[in-house]
Each structure stands twice: as C-alpha cells, then as structure tokens.
C-alpha cells in the first residue's frame, strides 16, 4: 500500500491549499489611498501634489496667457504654430477638440478638475493624520482651500460659468449624480471669495522659511486672488453689460452670466472690488512686499542701466531680492525664458523665436510718458523710417553710431528694459556698459535669421522674460531660473486704480496716486503732469479718458507676463485688438532698407464675441448633457 501513502501526500497538499486563501495573492498592507493619510510624510507629498496642478506659467506650450493673444508672435512654420497657443493665435480655436483644453486636460491643458478633486480628498482626510502638529494642519488646510479656490478661478477665467466642486462625487456614483450643471459666474465668484476668506484667516502673513517655502500661499496671496476674482465680477465681460450673454441660460433656465446692466449695480461691483484690492495691497505692504529696485553691487553702471535692471528685475529676479512678487509658480522652469533668449551662443540649437509684435513696441510710451500718437514732441508719422544714433540720450539704449527705426528712439525706459531690438543694447550683468551687447538681427547677422537655428519673427525680443544674470561665455544657453509672477504689486495697484476710477464719476487724486507710483518707478512723471504736454491734455480728468490711461499703463507694465490676453478679454477689448494684423519688421531682410519694412505676418483672425470664452469640447457635452455650450460655439 505504498501507493496509498503517496496519494495521501497529494491529498495533504490539496488540503493545505485552502482554496480562497490561496488566491489571495495580494498581501495585506499594499498601498491604498489610505496610506496617503497614514502619516505626515505621506500627507506632505499629497499636499504638494495639490500645488502641482497649478498651470505651468513658464511654458509657452502650456500657459494660455502667453501665446494665443496679440502680444507675442512666433515662427508659424517652426513648431510653435502647431501648438495650442499658436493655433489659437491663428484663429483656429474650435469646439471639436479645443486648444488649451483645461476642462478635459487635452491639447496642452491640464485637467483642472483633477487638482480640485485632490484638494477635496486632502480636506476630507487631513484630520485623520495622527502625527501632524495642529498649527501645520491648520495652515495646510488653508493652503489647500486657497488652491481649490484658485483652480476654480482659473477655470472661470477661461470658461465663465463652471460647476462648483465643493465636495467630491464618489467614483461609483450613478450617471444622474455625476451629470452636474454649470453654475452662474456670480455664484462661482461668491464661492471663490468665501473659500478664500476661510483660507485667509489661517494663512501666514509672511513666509518665514524662505529657502524651502517661498511659493506657498500667504494671506496677501489669497487676498490678491480674491481681489482679482472680484475685479472679474465687475469687469465688462461678466458684469451684466454684455448683450451676447443676455440669454445665456442652461437647461434648468438658470441665467449663467449676469444680465443686469444697471449702472448702479455695476458701480457696486466695482466698489466691492476696490475694497478687496485695497485690503490685498495693505496686507501685502504689511507683509513687507514693496516695489523692486535693483541694488548695484560692485558693478559700475550708469543710472539708466540700473533703471533698466529695476524694470526687468521686478519680473526676472528671485524672491530674496524681489519683494514685489506676491505669488509665483515656483514649479515653473525655464522654457519660456529659453524660447525668448536671442541667439547669443556659438552652439545653440535653440529657437529664440518668441517676439513681441510691432503693436506692443508701439504701445509703450514716449520718453514723456504718453502714447506715441499723443506726444507732439515725438514724430509719429515717420516712425517707420530709420535714423542714425547721434545723440547722447540713447547712449545706454542703442549701439553708438548704429542705425535703427525711429520707432525705437525717445521711448520710455520700460520700452528699453522690456524689449530687445535690432541695434538696441541687450544689457546683461556679465557685460559692462562699455562693452554692452548690441543686438544685430537683420537676416544673416549674429542674432538674426539663421535657417533651422534662429527665427526672430518680428524683430522685438522679449527681454523681460530673460534674466540679466545669464552668462555670455558659455557655448549654449545657461538660463537663470526665476518664476514668472502670477501676481506682483503693480498688478494690484493698477487694479485698485481701475476699480476706484470705475466706482467714481470723475477720477480723484487717489486714482492718480496709484498709477503714479507705478509710473514713478518706471522713471516717468505722474499722469496729470505728463498729459499736460500731450495733444489731449484733459484726458486724465474724465472717467473714460482715465480708464484708457489705466488700461494702457497696465498693458505696458504687465506686458509679456501672461496677463494681457486675460485683461483684454475681461475688458471686452479683445475683438478690437486681436483682429488687427500681426506686424513686425521684415526679419528676412538683410539690408537696412529691406529689414525696416513693416510686414504683416498674419491677418484676418476673426476673433468674435464667442471667442471671449473657451469652447467646451463636443464630446464633453455629449457625456454630460446637463452642460451647455458657451455662446456662439
């Protein structure tokens, strides 16, 4: 019966393998979402993961504020033209597969809803983490609330009415539960404001650990975002005055954007925005934020050069020196900077193709602090002609004895600080005033068109996006990393002036004061004094004139920082500006007279009322039939 013993062995094996347990191959303790909340270390990762969903401000491919407006142009045949921003700038936005789709997370957009859901998951679970000190729990919660509010605000700026995702819907929810509605713009802004108020009270006034925490939210950050949200609520696009939104209702019959254009109601909106903005400014001052001024070290330089560093450094300098920045996305890297850096290196397979359009160059004031077509002392009619630099006034602006367009002469310091142009000086700390780098970008010249290497597309390099701390002796670009500000002080000052001006019948000294702070720093006289000499001396004295002045000041001060296209949409001015032809100098011209021809690089964009808001993707509307499309799409 030996065989039986062997069989017994087999039966033993069979019995030992208890069926169900045998198939339980996953051991206890495998990672689940609960692990994220098991201790502080894991929670910290989840916490920073919430910050991760901020848009990438420094990437020309990803951030919808850079390319897609009328501010920056690019080489349409060289890659950027096929990216989302380039497509939008060429009038190709569509509802089939929208560009910069931040709703669904497609075409260079992030799915913002994931960020919001993560914030909710964090807030739902943070209280169960055992080893988190109470003060830290409070602060982290406040920061996540802030982020949740900001994500909603970011979507609102693109899409207008959006669903409010205050709590998460379970993964296994029924189809009816997940088909949510878009909420009216005013409700969304009210929600954002409430959430920010909640966050503000627990946020720190200042960041103490600057080496590890700069970039995180403070009271000033939250109040500044709140101010911006309320300014959006008061601005023409959303304040009830836009006729195209008069019948914008969803399937429940809910009016999605206000349609009450009673001037007093709108004035009340502006008053509320003004109070919030002032509160943000005061809090920022209290926290030590102040306008940036370049501090000279051992470098010997002219006051002019130092002023240019001040006006550029307020964007390109890091927080330690630059206390003007209230909030920036520290996760952003150098992509935008690299795309804007001229070809200054021997071995540079880069692109250097992002340039400001001719319109931006014309937008800056003359040296008298007024628009080029309002300055009787500036020759507007002949501005596209060229002349030789003879005087000493341009010593630190234009290469000595060089010839360039008259447009580039006798302009305000911000023009020279923000833009680089042919025969203009491209100041870098590595070069002294005497050996300053002079841009030469006619075709075939060192910074000019070189096939497959360098594609300067209009003739105006965006100096403001390139740090003056980059070295010039390396063979390739070595960018100096900085964070493009999301909000800096002049932004708030000018919002405040705008909100005040809109809430008053005629501008008062307080309105001038805040604009003048920005102008003074830029080396210009105040508004009233500057316009005295202009062709329209009374312009600052009445509301509409002052509105135009504030808008222009804002567009100049915040140019090429990803703000302009948002502002123009908010003001409902985009139709006027975006449909203008894109112009620049002829970068294919090798000779002086060929280069200084204005060329139209793109025209006929056909930006209409519908383009003020992003389209929702068609398939998204199919999946959730309770969502309605934005008007016109």
Partner 1 sequence: MVKGYRSEDRSNMYAQFEARQDLDFFLKGLSARALFNINRYSLLPVRRQIVPFFYTLAVTSDPNSYILNPINTDGTDYLDFVPSTKSLESTMYFEGAVSYNNVFAEKHTVSGLLVYTIRELLDGNTDNFQLSLPHRNLGLAGRLTYSYDSRYFLETNFGYNGSERFHSSQRWGFFPSAGAGWIISNEKFMEPVGGIISKLKLKATYGLVGNDAIGRDEDRFYYMSQLNMNDGGRGYDLGDDFGFHSNGISIQRYADPDITWEISRKSNYGLELNLWNSLEIQFDYFRERRSNILQERVSIPTTMGLQVTPRANIGKAKGSGFEMSVDYNKAFTTDLWIVARGNFTYAASKYDVFEEPDYTKVPWRFHVGQKLSQNFGYIAERLFIDDEEVLNSPLQTFGEYGAGDIKYKDINGDMSIDENDQVPVGFPTTPEIIYGFGISAGYKNFDISFFFQGSARSSFWINAGSTAPFIGNRAMLQYYGDSHWTEDNRDLYALWPRLSENAMPNNQVTSTWFMRDGSFLRLKTAEIGYTIPLNFVRKIKMQNVRLYISGNNLAVWAPFKMWDPEMGDNGLAYPLQRVFNFGINIEF
Residues 178-207 that bind partner 1 (CB under 8 A): 178-180
Residue owning tokens 């002079």? 438
Q: Report the distance separating Cα 397 and Cα 307, nearest Å.
A: 12
* Contact track, partner 1, 524-553, x by CB under 8 A: ------------------------------
* 504 close to 511: Cβ distance less than 8 angstroms: yes
Q: Please give the backbone phi and psi of residue 230, each rounded to the nearest 5 degrees, phi first.
A: -70, -30
What the block records as the tokens of 57 is: 């401000």
Pairing label, strands 325-328, 485-488: antiparallel
* 50 close to 141: Cβ distance less than 8 angstroms: no
Residue 179 beta carbon to partner 1: minimum distance, rounded to whole angstroms:
7
User: Cβ atoms within 10 A of the Cβ of 336, count?
Assistant: 28
Binding test (CB under 8 A) with partner 1, winner from 213, 299, 385, 538: 213
Binding test (CB under 8 A) with partner 1, winner from 167, 208, 212, 300: 212
Residue 39 beta carbon to partner 1: minimum distance, rounded to whole angstroms:
12
Residue 20 beta carbon to partner 1: minimum distance, rounded to whole angstroms:
6
* 163 close to 182: Cβ distance less than 8 angstroms: yes
Per CB under 8 A, which of residues 328..357 are in contact with partner 1? Answer: 330-331
With residues binned 3-state (H G I as helix, E B as strand, rest as coil), the percentages for the chain, rounded to 5, are 45, 10, 50
Q: Report the distance separating Cα 448 and Cα 451, nearest Å.
A: 10
For partner 1, the closer CB: 17 or 474: 17
What the block records as the tokens of 78 is: 């060289």
Binding test (CB under 8 A) with partner 1, winner from 39, 124, 128, 169: 169
Q: Report the distance separating Cα 72 and Cα 464, nearest Å.
A: 12
Per CB under 8 A, which of residues 82..141 are in contact with partner 1? Answer: 82, 87, 90, 92, 94-97, 103-105, 111, 113-118
Q: Tell me, rounded to whole angstroms, the distance of Cα 2 from its chain centroid.
A: 84
* 372 close to 380: Cβ distance less than 8 angstroms: yes
Q: Report the distance separating Cα 287 and Cα 30, nearest Å.
A: 45
For partner 1, the closer CB: 35 or 597: 35
* Contact track, partner 1, 297-326, x by CB under 8 A: ---------------------xxx------
* Contact track, partner 1, 43-72, x by CB under 8 A: -xxx-xx-xx--------------------
Kindly state whether residue 165 participates in binding partner 1, applying the rule CB under 8 A.
yes
Q: Tell me, rounded to whole angstroms, the distance of Cα 344 from its chain centroid.
A: 27
For partner 1, the closer CB: 104 or 108: 104
Binding test (CB under 8 A) with partner 1, winner from 390, 434, 544, 622: 622
Instruction: With CB under 8 A as the rule, give the number of residues binding partner 1.
Output: 82
For partner 1, the closer CB: 2 or 591: 2
For partner 1, the closer CB: 146 or 493: 146
* 407 close to 451: Cβ distance less than 8 angstroms: no
Residue 13 beta carbon to partner 1: minimum distance, rounded to whole angstroms:
6
Binding test (CB under 8 A) with partner 1, winner from 31, 253, 381, 401: 31
Which among 244, 196, 102, 236 is positioned nearest to 620, based on CA atoms?
102
For partner 1, the closer CB: 13 or 243: 13
What the block records as the tokens of 359 is: 């319109």
**Only segment of 75-83, 294-302, 381-389, 535-543 that touches partner 1 (CB under 8 A):** 75-83
């Amino acid at each position: 019966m030996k065989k039986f013993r062997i069989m017994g062995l087999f039966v033993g094996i069979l019995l030992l393998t208890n069926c169900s347990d045998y198939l339980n191959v996953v051991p206890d303790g495998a990672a689940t979402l609960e692990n994220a909340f098991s201790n502080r270390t894991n929670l910290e990762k989840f916490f920073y993961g919430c910050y991760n969903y901020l848009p990438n401000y420094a990437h020309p491919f990803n951030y919808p504020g850079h390319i897609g407006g009328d501010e920056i142009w690019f080489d349409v045949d060289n890659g950027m033209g096929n990216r989302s921003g380039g497509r939008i700038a060429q009038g190709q936005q569509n509802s089939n597969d929208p560009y910069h789709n931040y709703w669904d997370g497609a075409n260079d957009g992030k799915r913002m809803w994931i960020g919001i859901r993560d914030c909710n998951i964090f807030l739902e679970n943070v209280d169960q983490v055992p080893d988190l000190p109470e003060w830290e729990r409070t602060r982290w919660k406040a920061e996540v609330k802030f982020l949740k509010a900001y994500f909603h605000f970011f979507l609102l700026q693109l899409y207008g009415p959006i669903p409010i995702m205050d709590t998460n819907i379970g993964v296994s929810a029924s189809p009816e539960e997940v088909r949510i509605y878009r909420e009216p713009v005013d409700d969304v802004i009210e929600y954002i404001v409430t959430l920010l108020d909640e966050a503000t009270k627990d946020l720190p006034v200042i960041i103490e650990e600057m080496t590890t925490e700069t970039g995180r939210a403070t009271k000033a950050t939250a109040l500044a975002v709140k101010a911006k949200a309320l300014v959006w609520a008061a601005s023409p696009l959303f304040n009830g005055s836009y006729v195209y939104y008069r019948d914008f209702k969803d399937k429940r019959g809910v009016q999605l954007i206000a349609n009450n254009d009673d001037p007093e109601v709108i004035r009340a909106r502006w008053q509320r925005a003004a109070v919030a903005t002032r509160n943000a400014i005061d809090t920022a001052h209290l926290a030590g934020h102040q306008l940036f001024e370049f501090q000279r070290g051992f470098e010997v330089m002219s006051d002019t050069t130092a002023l240019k560093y001040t006006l550029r450094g307020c964007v390109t300098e890091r927080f330690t020196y630059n206390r003007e920045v209230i909030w920036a996305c520290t996760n952003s890297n150098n992509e935008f900077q690299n795309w804007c850096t001229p070809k200054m290196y021997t071995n540079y397979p880069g692109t250097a193709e992002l340039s400001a359009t001719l319109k931006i160059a014309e937008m800056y004031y003359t040296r008298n602090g007024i628009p080029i077509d309002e300055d009787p002392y500036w020759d507007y009619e002949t501005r596209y002609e060229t002349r030789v630099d003879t005087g000493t006034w341009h010593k630190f602006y234009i290469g000595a004895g060089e010839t360039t367009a008259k447009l580039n002469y006798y302009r305000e310091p911000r023009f020279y600080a923000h833009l680089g142009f042919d025969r203009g000086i491209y100041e870098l700390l590595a070069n002294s005033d005497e050996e300053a780098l002079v841009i030469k970008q006619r075709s075939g010249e060192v910074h000019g068109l070189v096939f497959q290497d360098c594609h300067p597309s209009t003739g105006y390099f965006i100096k403001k996006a390139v740090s003056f701390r980059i070295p010039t002796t390396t063979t390739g670009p070595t960018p100096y990393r900085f964070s493009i500000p999301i909000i800096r002080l002049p932004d708030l000052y000018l919002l405040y002036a705008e909100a005040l001006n809109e809430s008053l019948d005629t501008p008062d000294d307080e309105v001038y004061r805040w604009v003048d702070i920005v102008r003074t720093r830029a080396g210009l006289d105040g508004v009233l004094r500057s316009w005295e000499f202009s062709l329209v001396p009374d312009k600052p004295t009445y509301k509409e004139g002052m509105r135009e002045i504030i808008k222009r000041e804002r567009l100049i001060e915040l140019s090429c920082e990803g703000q302009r296209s948002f502002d123009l949409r908010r003001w409902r001015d985009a139709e006027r500006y975006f449909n203008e032809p894109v112009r620049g100098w002829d970068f294919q011209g090798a000779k002086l007279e060929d280069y200084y021809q204005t060329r139209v690089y793109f025209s006929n964009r056909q930006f209409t009322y519908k383009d003020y808001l992003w389209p929702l993707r068609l398939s998204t509307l199919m999946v959730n039939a309770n969502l309605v499309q934005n008007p016109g799409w």
